[in-house]
């Protein structure tokens, strides 16, 4: 296990999403092993990837842990720049046991890669220890509100402690408590943490600076404000303009360092940010290369 300080230095220097300069030279892979989700965000249509971290509109294949490992190994061999191996969906990684199985395999076979997970935070307080045990070094938690009333507008339902569906203010209160508690626990456990927030005009825009301020107080390392992609409940909501997004990042940046190079990648993205390679094609080429070498040897 790395010390919290050395982990922070390493991730902040090498993870393409935490480091503006590293993203030109270091890539990442998202392994799509997590189809289930435990909440329903008002801006998500479930047949697509988790839009808290990924771009909707392109369905991912779902891989088993073994399939994910073989693709990760093949892609790392072919694309020499992979620094981070993450799980970002297509649902919530912490709602899927395959996430932990995959992370365990990755840790064993690609120990130098930065293990990375993105979550809506609902299950986080129960799984921080499991994430650390599986070798995760960086984490993204999507937090869209500080007030339960605002969260109640954003989330259609949230899975409650007994598996029931909570709605309205009760759902908002429960989810926020889990997200903020989980964030503090993750920081205390030595993970490098980014908070993602979806900017929904006229719904949570006035709360984004408070999220940045509180996240900084809780020890988060980065804040990534994502413009709303209108769909589901918010399909008629006009997303923020680039100028509004820029101004919001500037305001929130006085509390917490802002990420401004997010590409809202697919849950099966791989390669450098903005220069995505197709994971299946890379894995196929890697297999063809092995077969070619076997044939000529
Ligand atoms: Fe969709 Fe992700 Fe929200 Fe789940 S957490 S509802 S997959 S955006
Ligand atoms: Fe990084 Fe954003 Fe892509 Fe996630 S969605 S891997 S934070 S660039």
Over the chain (297 residues), what is each successive 10-residue block's mean pLDDT?
77 79 76 92 82 64 89 80 83 95 89 88 97 93 98 98 97 98 97 96 97 98 95 94 97 95 72 65 56 47
Say which DSSP state 256 is in.
S
Q: How far apart are CA 26 and CA 260, in angstroms?
A: 17
pLDDT confidence of residue 297: 41
The angle subtended at Cα 236 by Cα 230 and Cα 239, nearest 5°, is 50
256 alpha-carbon distance from chain centroid: 18
Identify which of 92, 122, 231, 264 to mutate to test ligand 1's pocket (most ligand atoms within 8 A of the CB). Answer: 92
Ligand number nearest CA of 158 is 1
Pick the atom of ligand 2 nearest to 140's CA: 7
Distance (Å) from CA 46 to ligand 1 centroid: 7
pLDDT confidence of residue 253: 97
pLDDT confidence of residue 290: 56
Nearest partner of 201 among 158, 236, 250, judged by Cα: 236
Question: Which residue's alpha carbon is nearest to atom 1 within ligand 2?
Answer: 17
Q: How far apart are CA 238 and CA 201, in angstroms?
A: 7
Provide CB contacts within 8 A for 276, sequence distance 6+.
265, 266, 269, 270
Q: How far apart are CA 142 and CA 28, in angstroms?
A: 19
pLDDT confidence of residue 94: 96
| Residue 98, CA distances (Å) to 33, 69, 94, 249 in order | 6, 11, 9, 35
Question: Quick check: CB of 83 below 6 Å from ligand 2?
Answer: no
Say if residue 90 is preceded by a cis peptide, omega within 30 of 0.
yes
pLDDT confidence of residue 111: 79
Question: Which residue's alpha carbon is nearest to atom 4 within ligand 2?
Answer: 53
Question: Which residue's alpha carbon is nearest to atom 3 within ligand 2?
Answer: 265
Question: Quick check: CB of 273 below 6 Å from ligand 2?
Answer: yes
Q: Does this model's pTM top 0.85? A: yes
Distance (Å) from CA 295 to ligand 2 centroid: 39
pLDDT confidence of residue 37: 94
Identify which of 53, 58, 113 to mutate to test ligand 2's pocket (most ligand atoms within 8 A of the CB). Answer: 53
Distance (Å) from CA 291 to ligand 2 centroid: 33
Distance (Å) from CA 74 to ligand 2 centroid: 21
Q: Left, alpha or beta for 99 (phi > 0: left; psi -120 to 50: alpha)?
A: alpha
Q: State the burial class of residue 195 (Cβ atoms within 10 Å of its Cβ: 0-12, 13-18, 19+).
A: buried
Residue whose tokens read 């981070």: 84
% pLDDT > 90, the chain: 58
Identify which of 257, 263, 275 to mutate to test ligand 2's pocket (most ligand atoms within 8 A of the CB). Answer: 263
């Amino acid at each position: 296990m790395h010390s919290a300080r050395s982990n922070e230095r390493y991730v902040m220097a090498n993870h393409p999403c935490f480091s503006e300069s590293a993203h030109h030279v270091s890539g990442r892979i998202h392994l799509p092993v997590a189809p289930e989700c435990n909440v329903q965000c008002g801006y998500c249509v479930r047949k697509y990837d988790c839009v808290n971290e990924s771009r909707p509109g392109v369905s991912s294949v779902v891989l088993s842990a073994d399939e994910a490992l073989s693709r990760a190994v093949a892609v790392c061999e072919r694309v020499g720049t992979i620094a981070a191996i993450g799980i970002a969906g297509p649902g919530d990684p912490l709602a899927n046991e395959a996430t932990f199985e995959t992370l365990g395999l990755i840790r064993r076979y690609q120990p130098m890669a930065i293990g990375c997970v993105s979550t809506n935070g609902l299950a986080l307080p129960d799984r921080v220890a499991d994430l650390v045990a599986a070798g995760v070094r960086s984490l993204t938690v999507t937090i869209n509100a500080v007030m339960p009333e605002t969260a109640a507008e954003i989330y259609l339902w949230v899975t409650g402690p007994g598996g029931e569906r909570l709605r309205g203010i009760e759902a908002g209160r429960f989810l926020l408590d889990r997200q903020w508690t989980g964030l503090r626990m993750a920081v205390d456990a030595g993970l490098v943490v980014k908070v993602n927030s979806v900017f929904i005009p006229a719904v949570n825009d006035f709360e984004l600076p408070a999220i940045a301020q509180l996240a900084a107080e809780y020890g988060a390392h980065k804040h990534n404000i994502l413009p709303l992609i209108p769909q589901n409940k918010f399909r008629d909501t006009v997303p923020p303009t680039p100028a509004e997004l820029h101004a919001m990042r500037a305001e929130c940046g006085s509390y917490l360092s802002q990420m401004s190079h997010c590409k809202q990648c697919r849950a099966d993205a791989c390669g450098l940010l903005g220069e995505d390679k197709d994971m299946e094609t890379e894995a196929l080429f890697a297999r063809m290369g092995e077969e070619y070498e076997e044939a000529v040897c």
